[in-house]
Amino acid sequence: MTTLRQYLDSTACEEPLRDLIELIAYQAIPIREAFIENQSYAGTENVYGEEQAAMDTWADQHLIGVLGESGMVKAIASEEQEDIVLFPDAMGDYSVVMDPLDGSSLIQVNLAVGTIIGIYPGGNALKKGEELTAALYMLYGPLTVLTLTVGEGVCTFALNKEGIYVLMEKDIRMPEGKLYGTGGLKNEWPQEHMDFISLCEQLGGKIRYSGSFVADFHQILKYGGIYCYPALNGKPTGKLRLVYEANPIGFIAAQAGGAITDGRRNLLEVQPEKPDHRTPIYVGSRRMIDLVQSCMKSL
C-alpha cells in the first residue's frame, strides 16, 4: 500500500509543495462532512450572477481560511471571489487557483461533485496552464478520490476507512474512447459544435453528462472520449473559466496523454486576461481533440 505522502516523497517535488498538496487533499474530509448541513442555496449570487449553493460559500471560505493560515500560499484565485486573495506575509511561495465545489447543484440529489485545484510557483495566480507545477481534483462520489499530477504523470488515490489516501492507479493514460458529454442548451449551440456532436454520434459515441465537470471528466480520464462546453450563440466565450477549471483539468489531461482546446488552440498556452476569463472547452482523448480542431478549422 502506497500512501499519498509516500508517493509525493518519491517525486521530484520540493518538500513545501508536498506539504501544500497534502494539506489541500485532506480538506476533502471536512468538505464532505459539511454536505449534510449545507444542502440548500445560500440566497446569494457569486461574482458571475450565478446563484450560490450553501456548500459553494462554505467550501470557498474553508479553503481560503486553511490556506491563509498555513502560510504556504501568497495568492488564491477562487471562482467564488471577484478579486484574487493575497497573503503578502506568507512564507511560502505558491499561488492556488480553485473551484472550491464544482457541480454543487447536484448535492441535493446526491450525485458526484468535486473540488478543482491548480498550484503555480510564485505569487502570480494568472499564469498559463502550461506553467502549473501541480494540479488535482477531489471527487466526492461513492469513494472520495484524489486525482493528482505533479508533472510526472497522473495518479489516483482513494480515502480508506482510516482517512488516509492510498494509491489506486499510477501513470494513468487516457484511452481513445467514445464517450462524450456536452453542456449548454442545444438551441444555443453554434453550427460548428452541432456538426461535431453529430460526428461523435455517427462514430458510435455514447453521451455521458451530469453537470459536474469533475465527475464528467473523470469518466473521460478512465474510459476515453471528450468533454465539451462550447461557445454559445450570443455567448462566444462559453461558460467555464480558463483559470479555475480549464487549466487544472487540462494540465491533468495533458499529463495523461490527452489534450484541451477551445476548438482552435491549446488552452494551456493561453495567457489569462483576468481571473474570470471564460472560454469554450473541449478536453479529452488526443484523437477526439484532433477531430474537433479539424472540424472547427474546416468551417
The CATH number for 48's domain is: 3.30.540.10
Q: Same structural domain for residues 142 and 201? A: no
Q: What is the pLDDT along the chain (299 residues), one digit of tens a residue?
A: 999 999 999 999 999 999 999 999 999 999 999 998 887 765 555 555 556 678 999 999 999 999 999 999 999 999 999 999 999 999 999 999 999 999 988 888 889 999 999 999 999 999 999 999 999 999 999 999 999 999 999 999 999 999 999 999 999 999 999 999 999 999 999 999 999 999 999 999 999 999 999 999 999 999 999 999 999 999 999 999 999 999 999 999 999 999 999 999 999 999 999 999 999 999 999 999 999 988 887 54
Q: What's the pLDDT score for residue 298?
A: 54
Residue 206 resides in a domain: yes
Q: What is the CATH number of the domain that holds 242?
A: 3.40.190.80
Q: Same structural domain for residues 153 and 292? A: no
Q: Same structural domain for residues 31 and 113? A: yes
Q: Of the candidates 281, 278, 267, which has an alpha carbon nearest to the alpha carbon of residue 220?
A: 281
- The SS3 assignment for 96 reads strand
Q: Same structural domain for residues 225 and 119? A: no
Residue 82 resides in a domain: yes
Residue 174 resides in a domain: no
For residue 89, what are the domain limits?
4-169
Whole-angstrom Cα distance, residue 257 to residue 254? 5
Residue 244 resides in a domain: yes
| Contact (CB, 8 A) for 244 and 116 | yes
Q: What's the pLDDT score for residue 109?
A: 87
Whole-angstrom Cα distance, residue 275 to residue 243? 6
- Number of domains comprising the chain: 2
- The SS3 assignment for 45 reads strand
Q: Same structural domain for residues 161 and 188? A: no
Q: What's the pLDDT score for residue 243?
A: 98
Residue 137 resides in a domain: yes
